[in-house]
């Protein structure tokens, strides 16, 4: 029996079938894997941010977690910025990167997260250590492009963070509120603070949110 070089039709069909399955996996499976990677990346960021805020509070110069609202009496130079737009987020970015202090939350090397001034507001004085003439009031933006939300425990249920990531008008208004435990009806982290990433759906207070606490 002589063997011919190359492939028989059956062999070719088998190879094509395998390639199409692999191709399908690449199309369907890869984005899913990337999404899972994004989620665990963001969980890690929130964990590190939680630790940075705890060490901020443990520092006797501060003695408390950053406030939810940037009060201009407490933060001279911030200007008249006491509003609810990305409020808690701006506060922690400012507090953790105060001028004259080493950054307590250096995002260098963290993939996908950034300090971005989404709502384009500025401070009156240079308050962060980012550069000598930088008056931007930044937000920490998650891997899906949404600013995170932060609430000091005294503001749970009192302050909402709004307009996160969208500044175009009321119909696009995005709101975040502190999470409540559905069983006990108490707020999670009652003596601490809540950090919330909206997660892959880019909406706050939904199932896929990534938070600095376990939810029931
Ligand atoms: Ca801002
Ligand atoms: Ca969500």
Compute the distance between CA of residue 70 and CA of residue 121 in angstroms, rounded to an integer: 13
- Output the CA angle 141-145-151, nearest 5 degrees: 40
16 CA distance to ligand 2 middle (Å): 40
162 CA distance to ligand 1 middle (Å): 12
Phi, psi of 162 (to 5 degrees): -130, 170
120 CA distance to ligand 1 middle (Å): 5
Q: Are 123 and 79 in contact (CB under 8 A)?
A: yes
Q: What is the pLDDT of residue 134?
A: 93
If pLDDT is split at 50, 70 and 90, which confidence band does 5 have?
low
Asked if the structure places residue 187 within a domain, the reply is yes
User: Where does the chain show beta strands of DSSP type E?
Assistant: 114-116, 139-141, 149-152, 161-162, 175-176, 193-197, 210-211
User: DSSP secondary structure string, 64-85?
Assistant: SPPPSS--TTTSTTS-S--SSB
97 CA distance to ligand 2 middle (Å): 27
Asked if the structure places residue 114 within a domain, the reply is yes
Q: What is the pLDDT of residue 170?
A: 47
Give the ligand at the shortest distance from the Cα of 203.
2
Asked if the structure places residue 1 within a domain, the reply is no
Q: What is the pLDDT of residue 19?
A: 77
Q: What is the pLDDT of residues 166-188, one digit of tens each?
A: 544 444 568 899 999 999 999 99
Range of the domain at 136: 42-211
Q: What is the pLDDT of residues 160-170, one digit of tens each?
A: 777 666 544 44
pTM: 0.82
| Total of domains in the chain | 1
167 CA distance to ligand 1 middle (Å): 11
Q: What is the pLDDT of residue 175?
A: 86
Asked if the structure places residue 150 within a domain, the reply is yes
Give the ligand at the shortest distance from the Cα of 149.
2
Asked if the structure places residue 36 within a domain, the reply is no
Asked if the structure places residue 161 within a domain, the reply is yes
Asked if the structure places residue 18 within a domain, the reply is no
């Amino acid at each position: 029996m002589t063997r011919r070089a190359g492939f028989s039709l059956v062999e070719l069909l088998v190879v094509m079938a395998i390639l199409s399955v692999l191709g399908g996996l690449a199309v369907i499976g890869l984005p899913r894997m990337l999404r899972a990677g994004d989620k665990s990346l963001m969980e890690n960021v929130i964990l590190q941010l939680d630790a940075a805020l705890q060490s901020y509070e443990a520092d006797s110069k501060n003695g408390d977690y950053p406030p939810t609202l940037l009060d201009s009496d407490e933060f001279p130079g911030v200007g008249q910025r006491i509003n609810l737009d990305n409020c808690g987020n701006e506060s922690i970015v400012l507090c953790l990167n105060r001028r004259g202090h080493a950054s307590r939350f250096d995002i260098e090397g963290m993939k996908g997260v950034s300090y971005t001034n989404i709502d384009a507001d500025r401070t009156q004085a240079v308050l962060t250590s980012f550069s000598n003439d930088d008056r931007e009031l930044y937000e920490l933006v998650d891997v899906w492009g949404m600013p995170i939300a932060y609430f000091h425990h005294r503001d749970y249920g009192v302050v909402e963070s709004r307009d996160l990531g969208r500044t175009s008008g009321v119909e696009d208004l995005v709101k975040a509120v502190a999470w409540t435990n559905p069983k006990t009806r108490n707020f999670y982290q009652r003596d601490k603070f809540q950090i919330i990433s909206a997660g892959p759906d880019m909406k706050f207070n939904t199932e896929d949110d990534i938070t600095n606490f376990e939810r029931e």
